């Protein structure tokens, strides 16, 4: 039996329903049969009607309900709302968390290839979790900071060692143990995925690597950790200088590892735009998401780009055979 692909409709106040509709129209029937959307049936139907989309959807109780259909199968999750794209945050928050919890439970079953969550406003999560990566890592009881947010493109991938934290806290969160654990996770994933050892490039933290001053993080933390990783057999080079590596040197590597979120994501998105997906490594299952936000300003304008969500679906489908 072919494995199922779970998609979470994500933030109800977003372009997600437009993306789901457009992607559904682009995929073939064999792929449609594998997809189960975790959402709210009535809300999604109202959103499609508001957007003037004609699409056949069907409500099911759970992923184990066997229905041979090419209709979009909705695993129904409760939500309160008055208008299709104007759901109060308190209701959106509970809905998103309930969807994530249900997907987490389902994703651990052998008949599920993986899960995709559409964009979510991070303010809807519990305050102690800065993003979906951290929330699902907590649900999976991931320890030793080995979960990894990897933004993947066929040409190169990037990883921020710290994710959704304020710039003032970056250096406080960096330590040798965390860097080593995350590099181990990255290296293991890449070898399993591509059957070879990855070429890893790791950036410094400060401008021009603080010119290697004696009191810099480069001298005291990053370089000693790189030496430890090299001794362990990892193919890693650095610290690379972040303001020049994305001109052309990034092409020498399979994965560029940065110290913080925007250090690698900003130049990566400038180069590849929507041609990328967000993969969480180190969980008990495969989780990916489109590499963009909720784009509230684009609701109803028919301008949402499907490239990233389609990339997610095609990526998970590799495990759904």
Shared domain for 84 and 162, answered yes or no, is: no
Q: How confident is the model at residue 147 (pLDDT cuts 50, 70, 90)?
A: confident
Question: How many folded domains does the chain comprise?
Answer: 2
pLDDT score, position 104 = 96
pLDDT score, position 274 = 87
Q: Distance between CA 43 and CA 240 in Å, rounded? A: 48
Residue 251: CA count within 13 A, CB half-sphere? 3
The label of the residue with tokens 């305050």 reads 127
Shared domain for 63 and 114, answered yes or no, is: yes
Q: Count helices and strands (H / E) in the chain.
A: 11, 12
List, for residues 178-209, the tens digit of each pLDDT value. 999 999 999 999 999 899 999 999 999 999 98
Shared domain for 210 and 274, answered yes or no, is: yes
Q: How confident is the model at residue 128 (pLDDT cuts 50, 70, 90)?
A: low
Q: Is the pLDDT of residue 144 over 60?
A: no
The average pLDDT across 288-295 equals: 94
The average pLDDT across 233-253 equals: 96
Q: Is the pLDDT of residue 295 over 60?
A: yes
Shared domain for 263 and 292, answered yes or no, is: no
Neighbours of 184 (CB within 10 A): 17
Shared domain for 274 and 290, answered yes or no, is: no
Q: How confident is the model at residue 146 (pLDDT cuts 50, 70, 90)?
A: low
Percent of the chain with pLDDT over 90: 83
Question: Is the CB of residue 97 less than 8 Å from the CB of residue 60?
Answer: no
The average pLDDT across 108-132 equals: 88
Q: Distance between CA 206 and CA 204 in Å, rounded? A: 6
Q: How confident is the model at residue 143 (pLDDT cuts 50, 70, 90)?
A: low
List, for residues 55-93, the tens digit of each pLDDT value. 999 999 888 887 778 899 999 999 999 999 999 999 999
The average pLDDT across 98-116 equals: 95
Shared domain for 19 and 113, answered yes or no, is: yes
CATH number (domain holding residue 244): 3.40.718.10
Q: Name the residue range of residue 124's domain.
A: 1-142+283-321
Shared domain for 2 and 116, answered yes or no, is: yes
Residue of 131, 80, 78 whose CA lies nearest to 287: 131
The average pLDDT across 16-43 equals: 96
pLDDT score, position 129 = 66
Average pLDDT, the chain: 93
Q: How confident is the model at residue 210 (pLDDT cuts 50, 70, 90)?
A: confident
Shared domain for 261 and 183, answered yes or no, is: yes
The average pLDDT across 298-305 equals: 95
Shared domain for 213 and 91, answered yes or no, is: no
pLDDT score, position 68 = 73
Shared domain for 110 and 148, answered yes or no, is: no
Q: How confident is the model at residue 241 (pLDDT cuts 50, 70, 90)?
A: very high
Shared domain for 90 and 203, answered yes or no, is: no
Phi-psi region of 134 (alpha: psi -120 to 50; beta: other; left: phi over 0): alpha
Shared domain for 229 and 269, answered yes or no, is: yes
């Amino acid at each position: 039996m072919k494995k199922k692909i779970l998609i979470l409709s994500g933030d109800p106040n977003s372009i997600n329903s437009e993306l789901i509709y457009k992607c559904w129209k682009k995929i073939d029937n064999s792929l449609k049969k594998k997809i189960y959307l975790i959402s709210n049936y009535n809300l999604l139907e109202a959103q499609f009607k508001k957007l003037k989309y004609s699409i056949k959807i069907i409500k099911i109780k759970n992923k184990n309900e066997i229905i041979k259909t090419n209709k979009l199968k909705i695993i129904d999750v409760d939500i309160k709302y008055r208008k299709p794209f104007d759901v109060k945050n308190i209701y959106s928050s509970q809905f998103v968390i309930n969807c994530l919890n249900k997907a987490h439970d389902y994703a651990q079953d052998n008949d599920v290839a993986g899960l995709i969550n559409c964009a979510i406003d991070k303010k809807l999560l519990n305050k102690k979790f800065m993003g979906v990566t951290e929330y699902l890592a907590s649900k999976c009881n991931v320890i030793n900071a080995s979960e990894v947010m990897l933004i993947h493109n066929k040409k190169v991938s990037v990883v921020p060692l710290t994710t959704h934290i304020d710039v003032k806290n970056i250096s406080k969160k960096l330590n040798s143990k965390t860097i080593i654990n995350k590099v181990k996770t990255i290296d293991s994933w890449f070898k399993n995925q591509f059957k070879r050892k990855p070429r890893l490039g790791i950036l410094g933290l400060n401008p021009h690597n603080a010119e290697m001053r004696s009191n810099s993080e480069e001298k005291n933390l990053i370089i000693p950790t790189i030496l430890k990783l090299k001794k362990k057999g990892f193919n890693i080079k650095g610290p690379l200088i972040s303001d020049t590596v994305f001109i052309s040197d990034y092409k020498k590597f399979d994965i560029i590892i940065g110290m913080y979120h925007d250090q690698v994501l900003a130049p990566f998105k400038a180069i590849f735009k929507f041609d990328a997906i967000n993969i969480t490594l180190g969980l008990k299952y495969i989780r990916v998401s489109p590499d963009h936000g909720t784009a509230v300003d684009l609701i109803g304008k028919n301008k949402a780009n499907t490239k990233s969500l389609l990339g997610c679906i095609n990526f998970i489908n590799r495990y759904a055979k």
